[in-house]
Amino acid sequence: MLKSIPPEEKKTYVTLYKTNGYSYTMTLLAIIAEFVYVTTILDSMPVNFWMGLTVIMNIFVLFLVFTCAVKINVYSSPWAVITLAVGVYFLVRQFLIVPVFLQPYAHETILLVSNLIGSVLLIIAGVTGTAKAKKRQALRKKLERIGS
């Protein structure tokens, strides 16, 4: 079966039995950036109604990003797109939600860096995860045609 696959597709063939470690690692690193963001924003925002919503939202985001990491590890294309969307959310959060609603009084640089790093990591993970999932799916269809 391997001899019938062109050499440029052999790397894609490896994805049939190997997980997507690159995108998985990027997504897990984004969880660390999210954790830095959460601890910093809670330390530097005024105690008001927005603090409770921030805690609830960030718990949801942490669970969502972890789920994305697990699903992107097994080449799930829809979850790779969700990972990409969460990366865009990190940018929106940094440039719209943080300054307008949360209004931190300190640590703005740490918040900016953690959001930008998390965003870049998630966008890279989403783009590469989507590309690898599509290549893997195309190869699986080709192998099904060869086997039939």
pLDDT attached to residue 71: 97
Cβ-count burial 120-135 (b if 16+ within 10 Å, e if not): bbbbbbbbbbbebbeb
The two structure tokens encoding residue 57 = 């939202």
Phi/psi for 124 (5° steps) reads -65, -45
The two structure tokens encoding residue 131 = 């590309």
Q: How confident is the model at residue 145 (pLDDT cuts 50, 70, 90)?
A: confident
- Residue 4 in this model has a pLDDT that exceeds 70: no
Q: Where is pLDDT greater, at 126 or 141? A: 126
Q: How confident is the model at residue 148 (pLDDT cuts 50, 70, 90)?
A: low
Say how far apart CA 129 and CA 135 lie, in whole Å. Answer: 10
Q: Where is pLDDT greater, at 122 or 9? A: 122
Say how far apart CA 5 and CA 32 lie, in whole Å. Answer: 39
pLDDT attached to residue 3: 62
